[in-house]
């Protein structure tokens, strides 16, 4: 019997898992995908928002500002890069300048520190590549950047080190309230009994709440698409550049990443299918237009990839974080749309409080280790350090990804770590192998070989991102028709 | 710190020919550094024939062609470091390379020849919308899986782009029992060699859909199909022509880009059109003593020309090491109407080797018949009639040293005029 089962291995579920792993309780996190951070937590703007955007008094506003403050220390503990680059909301008309004033006021009410409005000269000096139409901006120095999947994975690893079990490839299909006490959580990998169930299933939180017989709400997927540029344009903008926001979204930004790429996006369109993360031609057009308004000379010839993410928008348009009144022991953490990434550390603390209110007794574990030691990244070292490292472990001398300079040692580590990589994309998220300008053309056959070797698997069984996404479909000669044989399906 | 007279970076046909030539001309201390476990560059995976018609006057396969050079290299006792990647190059010719056994090595070279080849353009570079499932491969990666590793990355295949690798893979997949449904090409003409269109598509009844592109990719885990559409004159898809084709694999053969990360690190001047270093008559880059040849300079379709160009680079490096006198008094060479690019971009006429200079160029569009004009700031040098011109087939023009030297020429321009068309320059 588990004390707590957490459904969903996104930033929300993993933050909660890591927070609860401080205490002497039994926890399992179940996730339908083959890895954590495969849902919305891998496709977003990666901005640790300052908190001036959400309406004062909402959970979004409160948890954003609280979460923002927790980030630097948390990233330090988990050895995840956090960049305090600051955000700018840019106005291009008088009308928009007025909106900046409103944002400034909202920000003050929300408790955001050091906000101010800056004029054209200061703005252009700060960001010389901005459109000449930019006439003023809201400067928010507490806005930051984090790599959302790296952070989610780090939380999962640290939770796992501290005793949380992870069931991957485990889709929750039913949640039964048991007569005596607790729940039976049925998954595609088997069933689990739990005293408390936390629903952090992102886009599917509404469906799970319904399955469990708890409060009903709806989640609508709202798609945002992005384009990523080659690293050689690193520095085109230094701060996160927002347009003046509209009623429904923060608009299309031009934003650096912690790894030195620049991206543009997202647009904002409601869709039907909760799994539709495809990028469409009209969407690409929309974000190109949007991006150009802020930074006219974007290097469109040097786009390296595109992606999309889905916001989980609830019918209340706010986060829904509460213990069910109908099903005791069931906690909803749904509707976690933007700024969900920023809010996650604060959401985790809030959920901890809710569980205590619901009767869960939390006793601190003396063995809790808040630190997740991360091995050094070869590309970030100087040459003496590299030399030393190769001496200790020759696999550091074997470069597998030429674009991002990732070595075999780092890939092996990604596979062997807690909650380790099992697919090409999982290796990519942990090491950046395949994320550079050749997009895996060079390294994917090599990563595949290392995965097969490390996992003791056949190369045919290695996938890009879990069941059904195998890279190779057969050995050569296998598809040739055998005369008189039964192999004649083509 | 290791010191070497000449370091060749890359062990493809370019690096092999350059190293051999330099050694033949008397440079003893040559080392070739290659990141793969074998020499030959792209050739070991090109198991089709069609290599060597100019150099050996016979039709070899890629591995056979490479092997001749590898044998010669071995016989000459040229030092080779395999499984070793060069990660840094400076203007002062300091090189940092890493491998498992020796770790991180600092090498100080007196001269360097860059032959890093090229990489394939990807889906992102051409912005294809849709899902991001498994089953999207660049043609060269698929070729490696099939020909080197012995695995089939797909069974029902659509190929986007009619570059040579894509065409060769269409045939290869067919021979392996996979079904190639079509090759879609956005241009109104093929981007591959005519002989490849005939021998790899027509002979196997694989349709080549010109003026078509992929507008959507379907399938969440593995590719399930693609939507293709015809494009208008501005390359915009025409929606009414959209068609769904089911397949499990999309191969991309949409171009190659010279791999110049190291060149950029050393601040070597790059030509915006070729994406390779600007070079002079002896394949020397903007930094004296650093040379470049093969696909790292401009993408070649025939390996024979790679070999020729690389021998020149090898000799250039030898000359540099012997007299150290940099080239000067350069004639700048540029493409005019109808021509996409010309290599080399700079010529020191006095230093032309063997009394002749080759210029490699590509036309901008296909032409049945055209006149090529070679013109300097001092007047026209020559014209020549060319037939069956295609951007995919490189034009090679040889000029005599006498045509360029002692005439105080400052610039040289190549341009094409379609025969029958009116005067335009
Ligand atoms: C375009 C866009 C831009 C954004 N930009 C920002 C930003 O800049 N800053 C910011 O703070 N926030 C941003 N956000 C919001 C942020 O990304 C989300 O709030 C956050 O990622 C939500 O995390 P989550 O863990 O709740 O959901 P998810 O990451 O979606 O995780 C839910 C998990 O539950 C799993 N699951 C679902 N159903 C089941 C089941 N039945 N059984 C088992 N597992 C299941 C899913 O597979 C998934 O892994 C953005 C969002 C979008 C879409
Ligand atoms: C699929 C395909 C089919 C072809 N078919 C034909 C044909 O039928 N007939 C024909 O004549 N020509 C053909 N060609 C053209 C010809 O083979 C190429 O133009 C030629 O291989 C280019 O040689 P290269 O040495 O410049 O580059 P490559 O062959 O690409 O070699 C470059 C080498 O440099 C190494 N390298 C790169 N960076 C580093 C680094 N940092 N450190 C160490 N090593 C490094 C690489 O590993 C590689 O081995 C074909 C080409 C391809 C790709």
Contact call for residues B81 and B33 (beta carbons, < 8 A): yes
Residue A9 CA to residue A6 CA, distance in Å, equals 8
Q: Which residue of A has its CA nearest to B135?
A: A471
Domain count, chain A: 2
Question: Is B152 close to A474, i.e. CB distance below 8 A?
Answer: yes
**CATH number given to B122-254:** 3.50.50.60
- Which atom of ligand 2 approaches the CA of B301 most closely? 15
pLDDT category at A373 given cuts 50, 70, 90 is confident
Contact call for residues B246 and B225 (beta carbons, < 8 A): yes
Helix (H) or strand (E) holding B319: helix B303-323
What class has domain B327-425?
A: mainly beta
* Ligand 1 cavity residues, CB under 6 Å: A 7-13, 30-33, 38-41, 44-47, 49, 171-172, 200-204, 208, 224, 266, 309-311, 336-342
**Residue A196 included in any domain:** no
Q: Is the peptide bond before B344 cis (omega within 30 degrees of 0)?
A: yes
Residue A89 CA to residue A126 CA, distance in Å, equals 13
- Section A33-48 average pLDDT: 97
Domain extent at residue A253 = 82-145+221-309
Question: Is A463 close to B134, i.e. CB distance below 8 A?
Answer: yes
* A466 close to B (CB below 8 A): yes
Residues of chain B in contact with residue A439, where contact means CB-CB under 8 angstroms, are 122-124
Q: How far is the CA of A333 from the centre of ligand 1 (A)?
A: 11
Closest CA to A429 of A445, A453, A446, A447: A447
Largest interatomic CA distance in chain A = 80
Q: Are residues A387 and A464 in the same domain?
A: yes
**Residue A425 included in any domain:** yes
Q: Which of A476, A482, A483 to mutate to test the interface with B (most CBs of B within 10 A)?
A: A476
Residues of chain A in contact with residue B132, where contact means CB-CB under 8 angstroms, are 277-278, 307
CB atoms within 10 A of CB A13: 32
- DSSP for residue B135: -
* Whole-number pLDDT of residue A190: 96
Closest CA to A158 of A7, A16, A348, A21: A21
Closest CA to B142 of B161, B128, B124, B116: B161
- DSSP for residue B115: -
- Confidence (pTM): 0.94
Q: CATH: 2.102.10.10, 3.50.50.60, 3.40.50.1820, 3.40.50.300. Which one for B1-120+256-325? A: 3.50.50.60
Residue A427 CA to residue A420 CA, distance in Å, equals 9
Q: Which residue of B has its CA nearest to A423?
A: B134
Residue B167 CA to residue B195 CA, distance in Å, equals 10
User: Who's near A300: CB < 8 A, 6+ residues apart?
Assistant: A288
**Residue A164 included in any domain:** no
Our CA-based measurement puts residue B425 at a distance from the nearest CA of chain A, in whole angstroms, of 28
Strand ranges (E), A79-188: 82-83, 87-91, 116-119, 136-140, 144-146, 165-167, 172-177, 183-187
**Which of A294, A309, A324 is the C-terminal boundary of a domain?**
A309
- Beta pairing partners, B257: B119
User: Who's near B421: CB < 8 A, 6+ residues apart?
Assistant: none
Residue B245 CA to residue B225 CA, distance in Å, equals 5
Q: What percent of chain A has pLDDT over 90?
A: 91
Which residues make up the CATH 3.50.50.60 domain(s) of chain B?
1-120+256-325, 122-254
Q: Which of A298, A302, A441, A452 to mutate to test the interface with B (most CBs of B within 10 A)?
A: A441
The three-point CA angle A383-A388-A389 to 5° equals 95
Distances (CA, A) of A155 to A171, A268, A309, A370: 21, 28, 21, 10
CB atoms within 10 A of CB A490: 11
Residues of chain B in contact with residue A399, where contact means CB-CB under 8 angstroms, are 35, 85, 87, 98
Q: Are residues A128 and A264 in the same domain?
A: yes
Q: For chain A, state the CA radius of gyration.
A: 23
Residue B136 CA to residue A440 CA, distance in Å, equals 11
Closest CA to A245 of A65, A88, A440: A88
- Section A190-202 average pLDDT: 97
Q: Would the pLDDT of A484 be above 60?
A: no
Residue keyed to tokens 């024979």: B304
* A307 close to B (CB below 8 A): yes
Residue-wise over A302-328: b if at least 16 C-beta within 10 A, else e?
Answer: bbbbbbbbbbbbbeeebbbbbbbeebe
Give chain B's length: 425
Catalytic residue list of A: 49
Which residues make up the CATH 2.60.40 domain(s) of chain B?
327-425
Q: Are residues A302 and A386 in the same domain?
A: no
Q: Is residue A261 classed as helix, strand or coil in its secondary structure?
A: coil
Q: Is the peptide bond before B375 cis (omega within 30 degrees of 0)?
A: no
Residue B219 CA to residue A468 CA, distance in Å, equals 10
**Residue A267 included in any domain:** yes
**Residue A92 included in any domain:** yes
Task: Name residues of chain B where pLDDT drops below 70.
Answer: 324, 421-425
A 68-97 residues inside an 8 A Cβ radius of B: none
Distances (CA, A) of B292 to A271, A397, B278: 51, 26, 9
Q: Would the pLDDT of A324 be above 90?
A: yes
Residue-wise over A335-365: b if at least 16 C-beta within 10 A, else e?
Answer: bbbbbbbbbbbbbbbbbbebbeeeebeeeee
Q: Are residues A115 and A232 in the same domain?
A: yes
Closest CA to A202 of A165, A171, A167: A171
Residue A289 CA to residue A294 CA, distance in Å, equals 9
Q: Is residue A350 classed as helix, strand or coil in its secondary structure?
A: helix
CB atoms within 10 A of CB B353: 14
Residue B298 CA to residue B117 CA, distance in Å, equals 9
Please report the DSSP string for B26-89 in residue order: T---EEEE-SSSSSSTTGGG--SEEE-TTTTSS-EEHHHHHHHHHHHHHHTT-EEE-S-EEEEE
What are the two backbone dihedrals, phi and then psi, of residue A288, each rounded to the nearest 5 degrees?
Answer: -65, -45
Q: Are residues A401 and A292 in the same domain?
A: no
Q: Are residues A225 and A304 in the same domain?
A: yes
Q: Is the peptide bond before A339 cis (omega within 30 degrees of 0)?
A: yes
- pLDDT digits over A213-250, tens only? 999 999 999 999 999 999 889 999 999 999 999 777 78
* Whole-number pLDDT of residue A487: 47
Closest CA to A318 of A97, A58, A17: A58
* Whole-number pLDDT of residue A438: 86
First-residue to last-residue Cα distance in chain B: 54
Q: Are residues A273 and A387 in the same domain?
A: no
From the CB of B13, is ligand 2 less than 6 Å away?
yes
pLDDT category at A485 given cuts 50, 70, 90 is very low
Please report the DSSP string for A22-42 in residue order: TBSS-EEEE-SSSSSS-SGGG
Query: What is the CATH number for A280?
Result: 3.30.9.10
Q: Would the pLDDT of A488 be above 70?
A: no
First-residue to last-residue Cα distance in chain A: 51
Question: Is B125 close to A277, i.e. CB distance below 8 A?
Answer: no
Q: How far is the CA of B275 from the centre of ligand 2 (A)?
A: 16
* Whole-number pLDDT of residue B328: 72
Task: Among B129, B144, B146, select the one facing A279 at the smallest CB separation.
Answer: B129
Residue A270 CA to residue A159 CA, distance in Å, equals 34
Q: Is residue B299 classed as helix, strand or coil in its secondary structure?
A: coil
| Helix, strand counts (H, E) of chain A | 12, 23
- Beta strand B379-389 with B395-400 is unpaired
Residue keyed to tokens 């305090």: A84
**Which of A267, A294, A309 is the C-terminal boundary of a domain?**
A309
Residue A463 CA to residue B120 CA, distance in Å, equals 22
**Residue A76 included in any domain:** no
Largest interatomic CA distance in chain B = 66
Residue keyed to tokens 């989980």: A312
What are the two backbone dihedrals, phi and then psi, of residue B181, each rounded to the nearest 5 degrees?
Answer: -80, -40
Closest CA to A432 of A197, A261, A313: A261
Please report the DSSP string for A52-98 in residue order: -SSPTTSHHHHHHHHHHHHHHHHHHHHT--EE---EEEEE-SHHHHH
Burial (CB count <10 Å: 0-12, 13-18, 19+), residue B200: buried
**Residue A170 included in any domain:** no
Complex-level ipTM:
0.93
């Amino acid at each position: 019997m588990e004390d707590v089962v957490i459904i969903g291995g996104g930033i929300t579920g993993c933050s909660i898992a890591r927070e609860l792993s401080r205490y002497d309780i039994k926890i399992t996190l179940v996730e339908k995908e083959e890895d954590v951070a495969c849902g919305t937590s891998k496709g977003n703007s990666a901005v640790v928002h300052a908190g001036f955007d959400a309406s004062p008094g909402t959970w979004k506003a409160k948890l954003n500002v609280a979460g923002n403050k927790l980030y630097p220390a948390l990233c330090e503990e988990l050895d995840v890069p956090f960049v305090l680059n600051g955000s700018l909301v840019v106005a291009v008309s008088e009308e928009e300048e007025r909106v900046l004033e409103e944002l400034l006021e909202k920000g003050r009410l929300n408790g955001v520190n050091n906000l101010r409005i800056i004029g054209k000269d200061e703005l252009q000096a700060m960001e010389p590549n901005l459109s000449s139409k930019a006439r003023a901006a809201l400067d928010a120095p507490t806005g930051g950047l984090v790599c959302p999947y790296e952070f989610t994975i780090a939380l999962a690893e640290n939770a796992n080190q501290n005793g949380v079990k992870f069931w991957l490839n485990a889709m929750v299909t039913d949640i039964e309230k048991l007569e005596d006490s607790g729940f039976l959580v049925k998954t595609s990998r088997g069933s689990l009994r739990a005293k408390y169930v936390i629903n952090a299933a992102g886009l599917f939180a509404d469906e799970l709440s319904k399955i469990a017989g708890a409060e009903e709400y709806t989640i609508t997927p709202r798609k945002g698409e992005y384009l990523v540029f080659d690293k050689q344009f690193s520095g085109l903008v230094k701060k996160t550049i927002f347009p003046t926001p509209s009623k429904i979204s923060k608009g299309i930004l031009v934003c650096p990443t912690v790894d030195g790429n620049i991206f543009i996006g997202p647009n904002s369109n409601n869709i039907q299918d909760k799994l539709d993360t495809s990028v469409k031609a009209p969407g690409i057009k929309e974000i190109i237009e949007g991006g150009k308004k802020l930074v006219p000379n974007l290097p469109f010839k040097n786009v390296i990839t595109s992606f999309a993410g889905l916001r989980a928008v609830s019918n209340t348009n706010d986060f829904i974080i509460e213990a069910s009144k109908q099903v005791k022991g069931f906690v909803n953490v749904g509707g976690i749309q933007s700024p969900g990434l920023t809010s996650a550390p604060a959401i985790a603390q809030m959920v901890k409080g809710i569980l205590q209110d619901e009767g869960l007794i939390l006793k601190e574990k003396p063995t809790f280790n808040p630190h997740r030691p991360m091995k050094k990244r070869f590309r970030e070292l100087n040459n003496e350090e590299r030399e030393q490292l190769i001496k200790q472990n020759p696999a550091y001398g074997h470069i597998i990804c030429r674009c991002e300079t990732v070595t075999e040692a780092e890939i092996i580590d990604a596979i062997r770590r807690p909650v380790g990589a099992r697919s090409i994309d999982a290796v990519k998220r942990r090491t950046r192998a395949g994320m550079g300008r050749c997009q895996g053309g060079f390294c994917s056959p090599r990563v595949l070989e290392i995965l097969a070797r490390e996992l003791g698997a056949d190369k045919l069984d290695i996938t890009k991102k879990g069941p059904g996404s195998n890279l190779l479909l057969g050995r050569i000669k296998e598809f040739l028709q055998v005369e008189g044989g039964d192999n004649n399906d083509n | 710190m290791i010191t070497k007279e000449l370091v060749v970076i890359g062990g493809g046909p370019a690096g092999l020919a350059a190293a051999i030539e330099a050694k033949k001309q008397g440079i003893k201390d040559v080392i070739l550094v290659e990141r793969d476990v074998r020499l030959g560059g792209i050739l070991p995976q090109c198991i089709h024939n069609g290599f060597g018609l100019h150099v050996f006057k016979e039709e070899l396969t890629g591995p056979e062609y490479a092997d001749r050079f590898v044998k010669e290299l071995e016989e000459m006792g040229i030092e080779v470091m395999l499984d070793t990647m060069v990660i840094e190059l400076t203007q002062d010719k300091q090189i940092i390379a890493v491998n498992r056994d020796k770790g991180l090595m600092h090498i100080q070279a007196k001269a360097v020849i860059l032959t890093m080849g090229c990489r394939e353009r990807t889906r992102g570079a051409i912005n294809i919308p849709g899902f991001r499932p498994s089953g999207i491969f660049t043609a060269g990666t698929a070729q490696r899986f099939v020909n080197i590793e012995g695995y089939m990355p797909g069974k029902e295949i659509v190929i986007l782009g009619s570059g040579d690798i894509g065409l060769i893979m269409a045939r290869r997949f067919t021979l392996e029992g996979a079904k190639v449904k079509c090759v879609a090409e956005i241009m109104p003409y093929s981007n591959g060699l005519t002989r490849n269109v005939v021998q790899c598509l027509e002979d196997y009844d694989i349709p080549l859909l010109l003026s078509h592109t992929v507008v959507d990719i379907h399938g969440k885990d593995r590719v399930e199909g693609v939507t293709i559409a015809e494009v208008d004159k501005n390359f915009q898809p025409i929606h009414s022509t959209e068609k769904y084709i089911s397949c499990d694999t999309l191969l991309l053969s949409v171009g190659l880009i010279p791999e110049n990360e190291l060149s950029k690190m050393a601040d070597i001047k790059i030509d915006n059109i070729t994406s390779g270093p600007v070079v002079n008559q002896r394949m020397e880059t903007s930094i004296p003593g650093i040379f470049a040849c093969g696909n790292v300079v401009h993408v070649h379709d025939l390996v024979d020309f790679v070999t020729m160009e690389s021998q020149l680079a090898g000799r250039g490096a030898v000359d540099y090491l012997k007299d150290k006198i940099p080239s000067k008094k350069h004639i700048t060479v540029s493409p005019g109407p109808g021509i996409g690019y010309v290599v080399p971009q700079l010529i020191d006429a006095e230093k032309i080797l063997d009394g002749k200079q080759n210029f490699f160029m590509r036309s901008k569009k296909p032409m049945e018949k055209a006149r090529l004009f070679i013109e300097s700031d001092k007047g026209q040098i020559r014209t020549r009639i060319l037939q069956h011109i295609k951007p995919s087939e490189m034009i090679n023009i040889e000029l005599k040293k006498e045509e360029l030297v002692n005439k105080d020429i400052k610039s040289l321009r190549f341009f094409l005029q379609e025969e029958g068309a009116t005067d335009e320059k």
